[in-house]
Structure 1
Amino acid sequence: MTGTRDQNAQIESLVNRLRRRQVVGSWSVSLETALLFRQVVSVARWNQVSVLINLVKDVGRRLVMAQPRELAVGNIVRRVLRSIRDVYNSEESSSNINLNKTSSTAEEVEHEDDDDDDDKIPQKGRTYDLQNYGGQSSSSASMINLLGDGSVGEKRASLDYDRKKMINELENMYVNIADQAMEHIHSNEIIMTIGKSRTVEVFLKTAAKKRKFSVVVAETSPTYLGHEMALSLSQAGIDTMVISDSAIFAVMSRVNKVIMGTHAVLANGGLISVSGTQMVATAAKHHSTPVVVCTGLYKLSPLYPYDEDSFNDLVAPDPVMSFDEGELIDKVTILNPYYDYVSPELVSLFITNTGGHPPSYLYRLINENYDPEDTVI
């Protein structure tokens, strides 16, 4: 693999930290991945687009395999690949325009003086490497030429700008989502949430600066992340109440809106979210209560839930039934899934760092951020 020794050490370091879960949380993982690829793209030596794409895919596979359940890693890799393809396509279009102009000029000169053909110097067109790029055929790949040094420099500058823009988007993601809070939260509303989501936490705290409302937090057994969320909201002066998960359906009739976070958003608009979210969304559907999901675009994945279990994690069953119950635990099989899959029919609105979108609009966002060739890295 092309790259310096320091670069390979950085890649190996992130792979190991992902494998050991020393980097947790979709946002932290995404930022670390974006920073790494900024270094990879800027330091790597390449003079063909296919070389850079293969390099990014190679590094991306290693990161994804280190933590397959963290879909945000693959999402950042796909956005980097889309950026590379966009820069390539824009350069190719510009080159084709210049070639057409050159060809037209040459034809005009030829018609002006047909007797001097032997003295003319032919114009050399500049072509780009298409091998293994975008699924091109071998016939297209036969028209290959190395990029000029100036073209590579221009591409590096464009790619570096795209990496900076992506990192800036991640760093300002919470602020951009929280800025929309006043549009969705109104005075004297009762809002329900589940688990602990930093995005939702910042969203609610921002709205609380100007609006007075109440929040009902499901405790999210057996992790009890809801207790941490409730403590944080109450310390910010928000009227907060914790309920057991079994009381969600009973309380839902008094709730005006459900606002929750998610671990990942799949291509069909379905959610991979903390265990218990499915129950909240189903209860909200029964009572016709809108369900609003706050999430950054980096969580939007082009993958479909053909096998829902493949996106889930089974954690230790001890919090559900203690290993001290030796006589009983030997006779039963206990599963403790960490995530729930929530179908898109149960979601009313997604609030992202680019604005609010219904589930039916997600396919447009996927087309804007990812290339179909990169769905499978």
Structure 2
Amino acid sequence: MPNTVTGEIRSIIDPVVSSLKRHQIEGDKDIALAISHLLMKVISAARWTNPYDLIDLIREVGTILSSAYPRKIITGNVVRRVLALIRDEIETEHNENANTPMMSSMFSLLSTSNNENHKELHKQSKKQMSDLRSIIIQGIRDLVDEISNVNDGIETMSVDLIHDNEILLTPTPTSDTVLQFLIKARAKRKFTVLVTESFPNYIKEAQNFAKKLAEHKIETILVPDSTVYAVMSRVGKVIIGSSAVFANGGCMSNSGVSHVVECAKEHRTPVFALAGLYKLSPLYPFTRDDLIEVGNSGKALNYDDFKLVDNVELVTNALDDYISPDYIDIYITNVGGFAPSFIYRIVLDNYKTEDNTLE
């Protein structure tokens, strides 16, 4: 790929790249919004003679952003959504301007042509480029609105999914989507929520999560992780948040969630995973170990226990878990509920296969 990132574009993306590397942007929604606003600036500043030059630029910017925080799948998702938007506009424009018969169009699809010839056919006037730029930026604004209001679409399904006097369990106290989902359901339903302690990484988050639920008059009990199997027989549903959903129907979630969903499967308790559309990814989790982030090992084994530490060669503290689609009954998204086996179809509607690999 040619080096299309100019100094001007580099000056726009460098601050965000630096923030991603330092993990200064926290929260999936905040990262998605930051990338969306960045791409709007890049497209506004970029210069191109045809839309395929713009695609090359966005792909390269996407590669740089993804490498800044490789384990955050959302970064690549937003870039691919924008690429799909650009390709849709090119296709729409091509169809409007095409005067060739359908038969010749079919033959042209089967014929081989190099990328340079393809670009020559799509050279545009300044007015056409300006119009396309405006359309793409408006499309990204719509994406920003979708991401900002993602909880609204998910919350509307909560009343239909939660029953009166039901006992729910959630092992993801870091998920604002799960929090808002439960709060919304409380408007018409009375239920109890068990929140796992999420040791060792999210103890404070679990306490704050339980406190917020209690403030909305939801009966809440904070339970140790070790008691999950014992209480699961009383649980009606397990509700988890997810940081990324893959095309195979699997997802990434907090560490400890895999243990909970395995207990749920043993007790035949349904598991609902909440995820905004922007978290759905066209990628497959072929290298699962590379997806799991490792954090502060001192939380798993305190350094004050120096006698024990001296006898241990390696201490790892995983921050994430990969959840197989076998353990999830349904995904609740802002565009509806879907079985894990149907996720690939939603992915095909929102991404282009040629952008699965950005490099």
State the 1:47 CA deviation: 1.9
SS at match of 1:22: coil
Alpha-carbon displacement from aligned partner over 1:174-210 (angstroms, at most 9, x marks no partner):
1121121111111111000013210000000011111
Aligned pairs for 1:196-345 within 5 A: 196=173, 197-223=175-201, 224=203, 225-332=205-312, 333-345=314-326
Which of 39, 54, 74 is 1:72 aligned to? 74
Using the alignment, how far apart are the partners of 1:364 and 1:19 within structure 2?
32
Q: What letter matches 2:230 in structure 1?
A: A
1:188 matched to which residue of 2? 165
State the 1:15 CA deviation: 0.6
Residues 5 and 60, structure 2, Cα contact 8 Å, conserved in 1: no
- Shifted more, 239-248 versus 58-67: the winner is 58-67
1:92 matched to which residue of 2? 94
Residues 195 and 219, structure 1, Cα contact 8 Å, conserved in 2: no
TM-aligned CA distance change 1:100 to 1:361, over 3 Å: same
SS at match of 2:297: coil
SS at match of 2:17: helix
1:352 matched to which residue of 2? 333
Residues 195 and 229, structure 1, Cα contact 8 Å, conserved in 2: no
State the 1:154 CA deviation: 2.6
Using the alignment, how far apart are the partners of 2:195 and 2:118 within structure 1?
57
TM-aligned CA distance change 1:136 to 1:177, over 3 Å: farther
TM-aligned CA distance change 1:250 to 1:47, over 3 Å: same
2:138 matched to which residue of 1? 161
1:26 matched to which residue of 2? 28
Alpha-carbon displacement from aligned partner over 1:265-312 (angstroms, at most 9, x marks no partner):
111111111011001111111111110011101111111111111101
Alpha-carbon displacement from aligned partner over 1:42-78 (angstroms, at most 9, x marks no partner):
2311121221011111111111111111110000000
SS at match of 2:298: coil
Using the alignment, how far apart are the partners of 1:90 and 1:335 within structure 2?
50
Residues 50 and 119, structure 2, Cα contact 8 Å, conserved in 1: no
1:105 matched to which residue of 2? none
Using the alignment, how far apart are the partners of 1:192 and 1:233 within structure 2?
13
Residues 58 and 83, structure 2, Cα contact 8 Å, conserved in 1: yes
Residues 12 and 42, structure 2, Cα contact 8 Å, conserved in 1: no
1:125 matched to which residue of 2? none
Using the alignment, how far apart are the partners of 1:178 and 1:136 within structure 2?
48
Using the alignment, how far apart are the partners of 2:128 and 2:236 within structure 1?
56
State the 1:168 CA deviation: 0.7
Q: What letter matches 1:246 in structure 2?
A: S
State the 1:264 CA deviation: 1.0
Using the alignment, how far apart are the partners of 1:149 and 1:329 within structure 2?
66
Using the alignment, how far apart are the partners of 2:119 and 2:26 within structure 1?
45
Using the alignment, how far apart are the partners of 2:80 and 2:119 within structure 1?
27
1:39 matched to which residue of 2? 41
Provide the TM-score with structure 2 as the length reference: 0.91
Which of 117, 123, 126 is 1:146 aligned to? 123
User: RMSD of the alignment, in Å?
Assistant: 2.0
SS at match of 2:317: coil
Using the alignment, how far apart are the partners of 1:159 and 1:347 within structure 2?
35
State the 1:157 CA deviation: 2.5
TM-aligned CA distance change 1:268 to 1:136, over 3 Å: farther
Q: What letter matches 1:371 in structure 2?
A: K
